[in-house]
Amino acid sequence: MKKILIFINIILLVGVLSGCTFIEIFTENTDTNVTTSTNETASITTKTLNKDVILSEVYARIYQDLYDDVLQEVKDNISEERFNEIYSNILSQLIQKIDDGDITVTAEMIVDMIKNVEESSANAVVGVTSLNEYGVRISIGSGVIYKHIDNKYFLVTNHHVVENGTFFEVRFADGSTKEAILQGSDSLVDLAVLYFFSDDDLEVAHFGDSDASEKGDIILAVGNPYGYDYYGSMTMGVVSGTNRYFDIDGDGINDMFVNYIQHDASINSGNSGGALFNIQGEVIGINVIKISATAIEGMGFAIPSNLVSAICSDIEEFGYSKQKPVLGINFVSIAGNEAYFTLNGITIPEGITNGFYINDVIEGSTLYNYVQPGDIIVEIAGIQLTSAEDFVLYFSQYIVGDIISIKLYRDGSFITIDNIELLASVGD
């Protein structure tokens, strides 16, 4: 059909260039208060049209007819990653122009941007239902569709949303569902990837650069708080902080696994696995934690998108994440724990004031074949172990597969062990 329209436009163009006269037919209505009826008389007038105007209109028609086809052809001939890269570059340039003052942002523009997120990217946030072996629903959460290959769609959610499930469903805004299959999960970072098949043209969200997020940035949280009665709820806030760490496993030490984005957008049970969008509609995080207490208000946390994207890629390829290594040691810091060692009859050699005293090593973990209970590790990957908190911060840069060395004290001597490969979670 588009080819026919283009052919007609070309004929019109030729006619204009030949100096033809065109007939314009219009309907006159002398009384604006009376609805025009089909019995009204049409008057005909002859009018010679300006050639430049016609040329402009023809070009506009041709552009309109071809635009979608050209865009689709470009998208079909480049990878999704390359298309997203181009999109991000254009977006970055626009943001830079705003920062430089070349473009003035008004309140109306911000409202329009929020509405645009709601009408487009937010539709990539769906419901995730976990069912037991009997088909009984055991948990409800949120998920974000982030990729598709033909009719196969991938979505990311939290591990804790699916960890006890046997069967899984994706729920859409109209109440319809699709069976989903668990591709893999990472309990350490609390992420899981599922996939499902659909012939519908579903919205797919794009990951933004979470490292570019700054305190004060406007963010939008989308998910299903307290279940599907509040499907697709959107709340707004700002980034309250970045690189936040938590003691997830309750051992008294902030874990190195995730450098969370802190924000104050309202999230509740059911928001788990939902998206944290920036004002441009990019996913900069996956909501996972809310600190809930009488004296605490507005403290939500999201796994940053750069880590999410890397883990999703790993799970797609390997079925598990290769991002965050696990040393597999149960330890007590030397500094500040003299009472613990005295109580347990443990003698720390004179001169050793810092390091990790090893109580236990998990079988199959990174350090299982290198460290034994009673050792005191004083250095890991070139990091002197002055405190567990400092170690967590510095060690977070390493990923699975990196090679490190350790220095430890054992039986009166210091030993250095090189070429230790960092492994993923035990059991992965």
| pLDDT(141) > 60 | yes
Residue 50's Cα: distance from chain center in Å?
Answer: 53
- The segment with the largest mean pLDDT, out of 80-84, 239-243, 252-256, is 239-243
* Known active-site residue 272: yes
Q: Which residues of 349-361 are buried (b: 16+ CB within 10 A; e: fewer)?
A: eeeeeebbbbeeb
Which of 121, 186, 190, 213 is the catalytic position? 190
| pLDDT(271) > 50 | yes
| pLDDT(51) > 60 | no
| pLDDT(149) > 70 | yes
- The segment with the largest mean pLDDT, out of 39-48, 166-175, 238-247, 334-343, is 166-175
**What percent of the chain has a predicted confidence (pLDDT) above 70?**
70
For residue 256, the model assigns a pLDDT of 61
Look at 387 and 151; give whichever has higher pLDDT. 151
Contacts 24+ apart (CB under 8 A), 6-11: 6/62, 6/65, 6/66, 9/58, 9/61, 9/62, 9/65
Amino acid at 208: G
Q: How far apart, in whole angstroms, are the C-alpha atoms of residue 229 and residue 310?
A: 32
pLDDT, tens digit (0-9, with 9 covering 90-100), for 16-38? 444 444 434 334 444 444 333 34
Contact (CB, 8 A) for 131 and 212: no
Contact (CB, 8 A) for 361 and 406: no
Span 9-19, average pLDDT:
48
| pLDDT tier at 144, thresholds 50, 70, 90 | very high
Span 116-142, average pLDDT:
92
Tally the C-alpha atoms within 13 A of residue 370's C-alpha that lie toward its C-beta. Answer: 23
> How many other CB atoms are found less than 10 A from the CB of residue 284?
27
Q: Three-state SS across the chain?
A: CHHHHHHHHHHHHHHHHCCCCEEEEEECCCCCCCCCCCCCCEEEEEECCCHHHHHHHHHHHHHHHHHHHHHHHHHHHCCHHHHHHHHHHHHHHHHHHHHCCCCCCCHHHHHHHHHHHHHCHHHHEEEEEEECCCCCEEEEEEEEEEEEECCEEEEEECHHHHCCCCEEEEECCCCCEEEEEEEEEECCCCEEEEEEECCCCCCCCCECCHHHCCCCCEEEEEECCCCHHHCCEEEEEEEEEEEECCCCCCCCCCCCCCCEEEECCCCCCCCCCCEEEECCCCEEEEEEEECCECCECCCEEEEEHHHHHHHHHHHHHHCCCCCCCCCCEEEEECCCCHHHHHHCCCCCCCCCCCCEEEEEECCCCCCCCCCCCCCEEEEECCEECCCHHHHHHHHCCCCCCCEEEEEEEECCEEEEEEEEECCCCCCC
| pLDDT(199) > 90 | yes
Rounded to the nearest 10°, the torsion over CA 417, 422, 423, 425 is 110
Domains of the chain in sequence order: 2-25+42-77 (no CATH), 104-320 (2.40.10.120), 329-421 (2.30.42.10)
For residue 407, what are the CA distances in angstroms to 37, 356, 404?
93, 11, 10
Span 163-178, average pLDDT:
95
| pLDDT(336) > 90 | no
For residue 58, the model assigns a pLDDT of 61
Of 104-108, 320-324, 337-341, the least confident: 104-108
Span 86-101, average pLDDT:
67
| pLDDT(1) > 90 | no
| pLDDT tier at 387, thresholds 50, 70, 90 | confident
- The segment with the largest mean pLDDT, out of 3-17, 241-255, 375-389, 404-418, is 404-418
Query: Pick from 284, 288, 244: which is nearest to 262 by CA?
Result: 244
For residue 136, the model assigns a pLDDT of 94
Which of 148, 159, 160, 206 is the catalytic position? 160
pTM: 0.65
Positive or negative torsion for Cα 248, 249, 251, 254: negative
Span 125-148, average pLDDT:
95
Span 97-118, average pLDDT:
74
For residue 59, the model assigns a pLDDT of 61
For residue 326, the model assigns a pLDDT of 81
Look at 95 and 213; give whichever has higher pLDDT. 213
Average of per-residue pLDDT values in the chain? 80
pLDDT, tens digit (0-9, with 9 covering 90-100), for 58-69? 666 666 556 666
For residue 248, the model assigns a pLDDT of 62
- The segment with the largest mean pLDDT, out of 194-208, 319-333, 414-428, is 194-208
Look at 229 and 96; give whichever has higher pLDDT. 229
For residue 35, the model assigns a pLDDT of 38
Which of 139, 272, 321, 333 is the catalytic position? 272
pLDDT, tens digit (0-9, with 9 covering 90-100), for 274-332? 999 998 899 999 998 776 655 667 788 999 999 999 999 999 998 888 777 888 888 88
Span 205-216, average pLDDT:
92
For residue 330, the model assigns a pLDDT of 85
